[in-house]
Amino acid sequence: MEIKIFRCQICGEVYVGKKSPATCPFCGVPKSYLVSGEAWKNQFDIELSQISKDNLLKALALEISNMEFYENVFKGTQSMEIQSTFKGLFKVEREHASVFRKMLKPGADPQVEISLYKSDIESIKESSEREKRAVDFYTQALKESTEPFLRTVFGAIMLAEKDHLALDEQMAEKIEITA
Ligand SMILES: [Fe+2]
Ligand SMILES: [Fe+2]
């Protein structure tokens, strides 16, 4: 099989391989958003309505807050499994934040509240609350936006957050089994 170039229409990152991964290895969106290198279009530079700008700022704050939360958890936990899972989530949320930064153009990052590591169980609970909030937010933001590319981005990132929610459920089950 020949080596192909896949490029994510949401985050813009490039993946090289024989076949498409199930999800983007960088931003976690389903593989339907991965296109060939030649088919990829730069759509980050679009005109935005005021409500879309406001939603993008809220989205950026949400992603930075979740990213910092996951960073505190993977640095605080003693469990190798949680460390690896949450470090992965940290990287995905960091990628989401960078998508929104690209669409918002240069500006200072919004200030967010810091959430410190408490325990593994508390972290999984907090993670699933955060991911639920994210899914709800993107569902609402999708309804409020009219720009086609922005709608694609909000819809795709919502699917990535839904996957995170499923991951939290799996981790919670495992912890309950071993506790
Ligand atoms: Fe991506
Ligand atoms: Fe995210």
- Separation of CA 1 and ligand 2 centre (Å): 33
- Separation of CA 62 and ligand 1 centre (Å): 18
CA 14 to chain centroid, in Å, comes to 17
State how far the Cα of 154 lies from the Cα of 159, in Å rounded to an integer: 9
pLDDT one-digit tens code per residue, 12-60? 999 999 999 999 999 999 999 999 999 999 999 999 999 999 999 999 9
- Confidence category of residue 107, pLDDT binned at 50, 70, 90: confident
- Separation of CA 119 and ligand 2 centre (Å): 22
Q: Is the pLDDT of residue 179 over 70?
A: no
- Separation of CA 42 and ligand 1 centre (Å): 13
166 contact partners, CB below 8 Å, separation of at least 6 = none
Identify the bridge partners of residue 15 per DSSP, sorted by sequence position.
6
Q: Is the pLDDT of residue 119 over 90?
A: yes
pLDDT above 90: percentage of residues in the chain: 88
pLDDT one-digit tens code per residue, 133-170? 999 999 999 999 999 999 999 999 999 999 999 999 99
Residues with CB under 5 A from ligand 2 (ion): 63, 93, 96
State how far the Cα of 3 lies from the Cα of 166, in Å rounded to an integer: 31
pLDDT at 63: 98
Please give the model's pTM, rounded to 2 decimal places.
Answer: 0.94
Nearest C-alpha neighbor of 78 from the set 118, 127, 125, 128: 118
Q: Is the pLDDT of residue 64 over 70?
A: yes
pLDDT at 108: 79
pLDDT at 95: 98
Question: Which ligand ends up closest to the CA of 29?
Answer: 1
What six digits make up the tokens of 69?
């939360």
Residue 85: φ, ψ to 5° = -65, -45
Q: Is the pLDDT of residue 131 over 70?
A: yes
- Separation of CA 57 and ligand 2 centre (Å): 13
- Separation of CA 179 and ligand 1 centre (Å): 35
- Separation of CA 2 and ligand 2 centre (Å): 32
- Separation of CA 25 and ligand 1 centre (Å): 7
What six digits make up the tokens of 56?
């993008």
Q: What is the average pLDDT across 120-129?
A: 95
Mean pLDDT of the chain: 94
Nearest C-alpha neighbor of 133 from the set 107, 115, 116, 146: 115
Sign for the CA dihedral angle at 73, 75, 78, 80 comes to positive
pLDDT at 174: 84
